C-alpha cells in the first residue's frame, strides 16, 4: 500500500515516513499544498495524510480540490489546531479521519489501518491468482503447480500490480511511479530490468502466463489458455 504524506515540517514528515515504512507501507513525502495536490491527483496513493497548515495551499483547499476532481482516496488530516470548528471543516471537506498533533505513533498507524479497512479492496489478500499462477504474500513467492520461486520486494510489487490490473495495459510511467515513487531517481529502464527478471521467473516456473510488451505503451499480463 502506498501512502502520500503532505506535511511541511520536514522532521515530522521524515518521522512519519519512517514509521509507516517500518509498518510495511511505502510512503512518499511532499512539503507544500500544491505539490501535495498534484501528487494526490495522480491516483497512485491508497491513503493521503494531509496537514492543514501548509505553504502555497492549505490542507482544506487541497482536500476540497481533490474531492472535486473525483478522488475517493481516504484522507487522514493532521493539525496542530484542535478547535472543533477546524475538525468540522476538515470533515465537511471530505476528510475521513482527523488527528490532532501531537499524537502517538501508534495512534497514526491505527488510523491508517482503520482507513485501509474502510476500503476493503485496499486490504491485500493472502494470495492473488492469475491463470496457473498464485502470488503468495506470506512467502513472497510466485507459485505454479509444484514449482515456486522467491521474489524480491520489487518483483513482488510488480507481479502484484500486473495481476491486480489483469486485462489492462500498465504503462512504464505508471509502473515507475507505483514501484519507485516520485522522489526516486529510477528511470524507465528499471521497469524493463524488473520485467525481464519476472519473465525469467515465469519461465523457470513453466507458467503459461506471459508478460506481453505493448510497444511504446507498456505491459499486460496474458493467459493464453484461460
Ligand atoms: Ca504545517
5-19, 112-126, 154-168, 190-204: the lowest-pLDDT one: 112-126
Position 123 scores a pLDDT of 46
Edge-to-edge strand order for the sheet containing 147-150? 127-130, 133-136, 141-144, 147-150
Q: How far is the CA of 168 from the centre of ligand 1 (A)?
A: 39
Q: How far is the CA of 54 from the centre of ligand 1 (A)?
A: 5
**What is the pTM for the complete model shown?**
0.58
How many Å separate Cα 176 from the centre of its chain? 12
Q: How far is the CA of 32 from the centre of ligand 1 (A)?
A: 9
In eight-state DSSP terms, residue 147 is: E
Position 104 scores a pLDDT of 87
Mean pLDDT over each residue of the chain, to the nearest integer: 87
Position 226 scores a pLDDT of 67
**Cα separation, 23 vs 21, whole angstroms:** 5
pLDDT at 120 over 50: no
Amino acid at each position: 500500500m502506498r501512502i502520500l504524506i503532505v506535511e511541511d515540517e520536514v522532521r515530522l514528515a521524515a518521522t512519519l515516513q519512517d514509521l509507516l515504512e517500518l509498518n510495511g507501507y511505502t510512503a512518499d513525502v511532499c512539503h507544500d499544498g500544491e505539490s501535495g495536490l498534484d501528487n494526490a491527483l495522480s491516483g497512485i496513493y491508497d491513503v493521503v495524510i494531509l496537514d492543514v497548515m501548509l505553504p502555497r495551499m492549505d490542507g482544506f483547499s487541497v482536500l476540497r480540490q481533490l474531492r472535486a476532481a473525483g478522488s475517493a482516496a481516504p484522507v487522514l488530516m493532521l493539525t496542530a489546531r484542535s478547535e472543533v470548528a477546524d475538525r468540522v471543516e476538515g470533515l465537511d471537506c471530505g476528510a475521513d479521519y482527523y488527528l490532532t498533533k501531537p499524537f502517538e505513533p501508534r495512534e497514526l498507524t491505527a488510523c491508517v489501518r482503520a482507513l485501509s479497512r474502510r476500503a476493503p479492496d485496499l486490504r491485500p489478500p493472502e494470495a492473488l491468482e492469475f491463470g496457473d499462477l498464485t502470488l503468495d504474500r506470506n512467502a513472497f513467492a510466485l507459485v505454479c503447480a509444484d514449482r515456486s520461486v522467491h521474489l524480491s520486494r520489487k518483483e513482488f510489487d510488480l507481479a502484484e500490480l500486473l495481476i491486480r490490473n489483469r486485462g489492462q495495459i500498465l504503462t512504464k510511467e505508471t509502473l515507475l511511479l507505483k514501484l519507485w515513487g516520485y522522489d526516486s531517481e529510477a528511470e524507465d529502464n528499471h521497469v524493463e530490468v524488473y520485467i525481464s527478471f519476472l519473465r525469467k521467473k515465469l519461465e523457470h516456473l513453466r507458467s503459461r502466463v506471459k508478460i506481453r510488451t505493448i510497444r511504446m505503451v507498456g505491459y499486460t499480463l496474458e493467459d493464453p489458455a484461460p
